[in-house]
Structure formats: C-alpha cells, structure tokens
Structure 1
Amino acid sequence: MLAALAALEEAYARRGAPFEGRTGAGAPVVGYVGADMPVELLTAAGARAFRLTGDPESDSALGDRYLGRGVDPVARSVLARLLAGAFGDLDRVVVSRDCEASLRLFYALRELSRVEPGRRLPEVYLVDILHLPHRTTALYNRRRIGEFAARLEAWTGRPLDLAGAVAAHNERRRLLAAAAELRRAVPARLTGRQFLAVAGAALPVEEHIALLERLLAEAGRLAEHAGRRVFLSGSDHDTPHVYEAIESEGHVIVGEDHSFGEPLRAEPVGGGGLDALAEHYHHSGPTAHRATAAERAAHVATAVRRCRAELLLAYSRAGDEAPAWDFPAQRAAAGIPAVSLERQEYGRSDLTALRKDDPCAV
C-alpha cells in the first residue's frame, strides 16, 4: 500500500479512539455528532475535534436503556460508548440536528447530566440547523450559527479565525473531490472501503490536507480495482463493516449518498463569514431524513451516471427506516439494476438479494 493511503487508513482506524493530550492552553477537546456540524467553527476555535462513531461490536445496553431500542442503533452505540468513557477525556460534546436520532441523543445527554451529575459527562450543546426552503429558515440558521460561534469563543477565551478555517476546509473539500474522481475511474483506483478511510481519517484539517495532497501525487501508482460498480444509497456508515462485506463479494462501491463518504455538497463555502457558513449548511444536501423522495431520486440519478455505476444498492438499518421510503423513486430514476436491503442490523448486511442472478426483480 502506498505511504499516503496507508497513513490515511491508520488515521481512519483511530477514529473514535480515546484522545490524549491537548492542542494548547484553553483548546477544548470536542466530540461531535451529526452531518450538519459546521466543522469550520470548531477549527476556527482551535478545538481538537472529531466525529463520534458507534461500534457494532461493543455492548450498547446503556444506550438502549436511555434511548430505547426503536432509535437508530448508531445513536444508541454512541451514547453507550460515551457513558463507558470509550472516547477518553472530552471537554464538550456538540450535536447537530441532522436527524431525529441525533436530537434524541442530545436530549438524553442533557438530561443525564442533570439527573446523574456523578457521571461527570462533558457539557453538551445543540447546533440546530434547519433545511426548509424559506427566508425565515435562513434567518433562524444564521442566528444559531452566530450563537455557536459565540459559545466557542466563550469556551476558548479567544476570537475565532473563521476566514482561515473556511479556507482550509474548502481546500479539503477540493482535494476530497479529486480523490473521489480516482474511485470513479474505470477501473477504480480506490475501493469504497479505501475511500471511507480517505474521507474519514481522524486528523486535524491541515494534516488531512497534507496527506490528501500526497495521495493525489501518488495516484498513478494506485492499484486498479475491477468488479461490479455499485452506488450505495441509504443509511450512514460510520464503520467499514458493510463496505467490506459488499466488496468481498466482488463489487466495488464507486459512490454513496451518506455523510461519512463523499460529501453530498462538495461546493466550497462561498465566503469567510458567518452568513456564508449559515447559507452553506442550510443547503447541505438531500439526506433521507430531510429531503423529498423526488429530490433524493434526482440526486442519485445524477450521481449514478457520474460514477458510471452498474448497480444501485439501497441499504437501511433497523431503526433508520427513512432511506427505504426513497427506494422506488430512486430505482425508477437511476435506470440501472437496483437492490434494496432493508431493516439491516447495525454493521451487518444480509446480501442474499445482492447474490440473486436478476437484481432487477428484487
């Protein structure tokens, strides 16, 4: 494996592991949850921030107890890991309202801190970004973004370097888009599992940029990956388990529409201020939890053509049923064979339907 890809894989393997140390005096260690998180603000505050992930292999009993088994198992797993101290010494947890499960997680953490102070949970904060196509929603989001920026300044005791942070994250978006083109090549130069590592490496943004630049410089020496080209739609994948299972069957995942893979909206933030940041996250992509079936279908049809996929695979977890509602419209719009895997266990995949000779009939 090439050096840059190996380093990104190693950093991806560390995601969600206990963080040790600080970035400097007054710099908080922040774990965040949700696809709508304005990460530029965390970088601007100098925080050591990483996205919290679940673990299908660990016990989620504590999360099940406080959230109930009807909630997406990823949120239940994240809560269980927080209560067990699996993420180490966090100063804060910041949650975005990207879906109902994230919101339920926020309420559970806030209430547990109130009624069980002996647990010594980190302070929890909600970033409430909405996505209705109205001016009032845009104004609401601008206020929420401004409040979060003010809270970060209060936490760190210093002004935010927002312009620098926006520029850095825009550069990372540009490099990730270039890396995504390697996966779209025919044959693919990155597998779907490798792209998860490329996109999700647990690194500060500047270190991530440096490794992405090295990866692109080494692109001519990347291996070629043949196999049936799959576009994966549906639930988020915060671990590689499902990708590994699918690709072990001889497929290559060349695109996806969830928030741990290729960004739904790769366009840069159009300016260095809070107004531009609020606008960007207001229109951050058609996820299953907030977009219409028609919007999701149009997005998938475009993405399928762009990555030259040969199969549309829609995956939804038990407890995260919203993506399955979009499948009929997606199948009609994509114009390629399509398979739906519904009510899957977290981190697991029953691939019986994928193995059938005629996936169009599923």
Structure 2
Amino acid sequence: MSALTELLAVAEDRAGSAQGAGLPVVGCVGADVPVELITAAGLLPLRLAGQPERDHALGDRYLGVGVDPVARSVLTGILAGDYGNLEAIVVSRDCEASLRLFYALRELHRVEPETALPPVYLVDVLHLPHHTTTRYVQARIGQLRDWLGRWRRIGDDDLAAAIEAHDALRQALGRVAVLRRENRLTGTQFLGVVAAATALPVATATDLVERLLAEAPALPEAGGTRVFLTGSSHDGPAVYERLEDNGFFVAGEDHDWGEALFARTCAAPTELALAERYQYNGPAAPRASIRQRATHTAEAARACGAEVLVSYARAGDDAPPWDFPDQRAATGLPAVLAERQPYGELTDDALAAIRELTTAGVAR
C-alpha cells in the first residue's frame, strides 16, 4: 500500500486510527494547543474535527444554534463518544466558539457528572508581538505542563525530544506543500495528509510523510484553475472536493487545517521557544488584524501561483467578510466571497459565482 493511500485511510477514520495507536488519547480543540507537551507526557494528541453530515442537536442543546457549527458538532461528538475513549480534552482559546465549547464542557462536569466526561483544560495563547505576551504564553504553557504531569512528569529532556519530533513532522509537511504546488497532489489529498498527521503518534506520522515524499515521482499530475482558499477553516474535505470536482485545483490556503498548521517551527527545543512558536503562529482570521491577514494571504497566494481567490465564510463565522476587501486588493486576483455557507458545503450559487471568474476569461 502506498504511503498516500495509508495517510488518506487514516484521514477517513482519524479517531479510530488514534485509538488504535496504543497510547492514551487526548482530544485537542484548535491549533493553539501545544501538542508537544501532550506528546512529552506520553499521550497522543488527537485534534478533534466535526462531522458536518451528523445531526448535532446534542451540541445545539448546550451551545445554542448561534455558535459556529464546528464547535456544536465537536461537542456532539464528545458527548456521543464518537472520538472513543479520551483521557483528557485540551481546548485552545483560538476563537469565541472554542471558548464557549470549553465553558460548556466545564459546566457539564459540574451539573451533569453522569456524562462522565474526561478532565478538560483551557490553554490561552495570545498573539500580540510583545515580550509581555511571550511571558504570559510561557506561563500558560508551564501551567499546562504541570497539569499534564498527572499522567507523566515532563522533564526538560522529554520536552526537547517532543519539540524536535514535532518540528521534524512540520518540516516534512512543508515539503509535502511543495509537492502540491508542483501539482503532484490535489488540494483534497493534501488536506487529508495534514489531517492524518494530527491523529497519529508524531514518529509514525513523520515516517509516513517521509515515505510519501519518497514516492512523489510516481504520483500523477493534478490540474485545474489554481484557487487560493481563505476564510473559515476546513476540518474535512467536502469543500475542497466540490471545487476540485468542478475544474479547480486548491493550490493553497491560510486556515489552520492546512499549511498554517505547520508553517512555523520552534527556534530551540525549550519551553520559551515553544511559547514563542505558538505566540507568533498565524495569522488566523479570528485573532489577527485585517492588515495582517491581507499581507499573509497575498504572500501565500503568490507562493502557490494562485489564479483565483475564494473567501469561504461558514455560517456563524463572521470574521472572513471583514478581511475579504483587503485580501482581494492585496492579492490583485479575481476574487469571490462565498458568505453564509453551510458547514462542510459549498452552495450551488457560490460555485456558480466562482465559475463566472473563469468563464469571464480572468483565469484559464
């Protein structure tokens, strides 16, 4: 079996793959969870993804229908046991919906103990470019390190080894991103590879990704009008598949289930460098300024040779429409804002608007 086939199979059943890895599993919500600490404690970090096709009435009951449907879907999955046995859940304060999810879990612990939820922890990573912010983030990381010590004490050598292992995986994924730019992987396949890497022990993930890189010359060439996808994050492949089934090629994105997840490594295998890595990671739509987002999007779109800019705004995610005018101006690309999209879907009207860019002759 090829490495790509194995990775995509993991992406299809991330929870099952994590549960079968032989380590206690910690559910992680958001890209700001310092997974290195979880690995250093002898645990397996599994980033929790929602299931758009699943009824999430259970999550709606506790969060309300006004919260981002991803958070409601993840809460439903936790309460229904969809992720298997979780030793703990660590939530990052990467957006308001994640924070609401944490509060719901904490309150369920208090008022409905019969739900038998695992311990839950909130890690608050700020992204301001100040030394005081670095100290704040390092303190939060130190507190999480102490909390995880209930499973296994995290020594400095343990932390250093985990940082180096996760950085090696990030560097390997960076080379996979180059493969996509060279049309050796579709955007859907790339998204699946990244998703798989968030569900496996770091050494296993790195070995599979390195095998994929070695097999790259045998991969068929992908094609289509090159799209840069910005806006809401995508924790599943449905929107990528919809675009690529209709003549487009998702050549790049700036959300944290794609290249943004692994773009930054640690400067050193230390707690301070780990704090700086998470402090300066991004810029993500919910936490960064409009100017920061526009600059980053323009650079990333140029790097992947994008011909079209698509801003996908999921229903319940209000940030992308604010970013879009400056992103369009900064990239200089033909652009479409697809607003109020159902979770995990691209509507016919939105697809038609994207197609109009190509039929008007602004992209080949």
Work out the CA distance in 2 between the residues paired with 1:264 and 1:210.
Answer: 18
Identity of aligned residues (%): 56
Secondary structure at 1:189 match in 2? coil
Structure 2, unaligned stretches of length 5 or more?
none
More divergent stretch after superposition (266-275 vs 312-321) = 266-275
Secondary structure at 2:8 match in 1? helix
**Which residue is equivalent to 1:193?**
188
**Which residue is equivalent to 1:8?**
7
Q: Structure 2 counterpart of 1:191, which letter? A: T
**Which residue is equivalent to 1:344?**
341
Work out the CA distance in 1 between the residues paired with 2:285 and 2:264.
Answer: 20
For the pair 1:141 / 2:137, whether they are aligned, the reply is yes
For the pair 1:223 / 2:220, whether they are aligned, the reply is yes
Higher helix fraction: Structure 1 or Structure 2?
2
Secondary structure at 1:281 match in 2? helix
1:137-185 deviation digits (Å, cap 9, x = unpaired): 2111110000111111123356461111111111111111111001111
1:294-317 deviation digits (Å, cap 9, x = unpaired): 111110111111100100110010
1:287-338 deviation digits (Å, cap 9, x = unpaired): 1111111111110111111100100110010111211210000000001111
Secondary structure at 1:154 match in 2? coil
CA deviation after TM superposition for structure 1 residue 22, in Å:
7.2
For the pair 1:298 / 2:295, whether they are aligned, the reply is yes
Query: Per the alignment, do residues 223 and 123 of structure 1 end up closer, same or farther by CA in structure 2, a change over 3 Å counting?
Result: same
Q: Structure 2 counterpart of 1:190, which letter? A: L
Q: Is the 8 A contact 1:19 1:89 kept in 2?
A: no
Q: Structure 2 counterpart of 1:211, which letter? A: L
Query: Per the alignment, do residues 359 and 71 of structure 1 end up closer, same or farther by CA in structure 2, a change over 3 Å counting?
Result: farther
CA deviation after TM superposition for structure 1 residue 48, in Å:
1.9
**Which residue is equivalent to 1:35?**
31
Q: Is the 8 A contact 1:327 1:340 kept in 2?
A: yes
Work out the CA distance in 1 between the residues paired with 2:88 and 2:261.
Answer: 27
Structure 1, unaligned stretches of length 5 or more?
none
Query: Per the alignment, do residues 91 and 353 of structure 1 end up closer, same or farther by CA in structure 2, a change over 3 Å counting?
Result: same
Q: How many residues align?
A: 354
Q: Is the 8 A contact 2:170 2:262 kept in 1?
A: no
**Which residue is equivalent to 1:87?**
83
Q: Say what the alpha-carbon RMSD is for the aligned residues.
A: 1.6
Paired residue for 1:172, among 148, 169, 180? Answer: 169
Q: Is the 8 A contact 1:23 1:47 kept in 2?
A: no
| Correspondences of 1:310-329 after superposition (within 5 Å) | 310-329=307-326
Work out the CA distance in 2 between the residues paired with 1:311 and 1:107.
Answer: 39
1:235-277 deviation digits (Å, cap 9, x = unpaired): 1101111111111101110100011111266232011111110
CA deviation after TM superposition for structure 1 residue 17, in Å:
4.0
**Which residue is equivalent to 1:150?**
146
TM-score of the two chains, using structure 2 as the length reference? 0.94
Work out the CA distance in 2 between the residues paired with 1:264 and 1:8.
Answer: 17
Q: Structure 2 counterpart of 1:195, which letter? A: F
Query: Per the alignment, do residues 359 and 116 of structure 1 end up closer, same or farther by CA in structure 2, a change over 3 Å counting?
Result: farther
Paired residue for 1:270, among 267, 270, 290? Answer: 267
CA deviation after TM superposition for structure 1 residue 46, in Å:
1.1
**Which residue is equivalent to 1:287?**
284
Structure 1 runs of 4+ with >6 Å offset: none
TM-score of the two chains, using structure 1 as the length reference? 0.94
Query: Per the alignment, do residues 218 and 32 of structure 1 end up closer, same or farther by CA in structure 2, a change over 3 Å counting?
Result: same
CA deviation after TM superposition for structure 1 residue 20, in Å:
3.9
Query: Per the alignment, do residues 339 and 21 of structure 1 end up closer, same or farther by CA in structure 2, a change over 3 Å counting?
Result: closer
